[in-house]
Amino acid sequence: MTPERLARINQTLDNRQPDLTICLEAVHKTHNLSAIVRTADAVGVHDVHAVLVQGYQRMSSGTALGSQNWVNVHMHSNIEEAVSQMKAQKMQVLATHLSSKAVDFREIDYTKPTAILMGQEKFGITPEALELADHHIVIPMVGMVQSLNVSVAGATILYEAQRQRQLAGMYGQNKLSAAERHKILFEGGHPIYAEACKRKGLAYPPLDEEGQLVASDEWWEKMRMSDKAWKALQAKNAE
């Protein structure tokens, strides 16, 4: 890993906001999911949640431009499961929905732990999700159309959250656990070794201050083994 790449990854991780997230309920167009993940990465969101629609939602790598490698995307089978996880992290849950109790999205305090619910492209957020939300928010519109594309709406809200958090000095400080930070640094700085570790079930070794591996001779010996030799060794040890 070059010094420049190490500095870039560290700067990115120092700006991550683990207590700010977005949850997509039944969003079925892959380019929308990918675009929101790309925006999430841009504003420092570390985790994105999505409720499944008829199976696994696959992102479009062309739209996400690799951001899915830096943002954790968590899939859920239902909205109750997703919201329960967010509320367990003490997050206020916001639902984008025009209702009698909805407020302008800019009136919300996004410096608090926050989860933003975005609904399906055609029908919006389900009644079940609306019941689980703490607040309903709207993006004021004065034109003929009544709604924005889900990825545009998500970006609009996320950048307001970023603006408030920047003013509050919430960027530029590490909020990730040591284990999570090491995992991202290793996978981002040494992708080939990371993939080999996953195949062989090896733990990621420590990194020094320059981002270089600090590994034992035993680890290096296992790393140099071919996959065929490794499987043979594992089979022998299992006997």
pLDDT along the chain (239 residues), means of 10: 90 95 82 87 93 58 54 88 92 88 93 90 77 90 77 93 96 94 93 92 93 92 86 77
User: Whole-model pTM?
Assistant: 0.84
From residue 101, how far is each of 86, 95, 128, 137, 238 by CA, in Å?
A: 22, 11, 16, 8, 62
Amino acid (1-letter code) at residue 194: A
Task: Compute, in degrees rounded to 10, the torsion defined by CA atoms 37, 42, 47, 53.
Answer: -10
Task: Report whether 98 belongs to an annotated binding site.
Answer: no
**pLDDT for res 213:** 93
26 closest CA partner among 87, 68, 74, 78: 78
- The ranges of the chain annotated as CATH 3.40.1280.10 are 17-167
Question: What pLDDT score does 56 carry?
Answer: 46
148 in a labelled binding site: yes
- Is 22 known as a binding-site position? no
Task: Write the single-letter amino acid at 150.
Answer: V
29 vs 31: CA distance, rounded Å: 6
Question: Is the domain defined by 17-167 classed in CATH 3.40.1280.10?
Answer: yes
**DSSP conformational letter for 107:** G
pLDDT, residue 148, reads 78
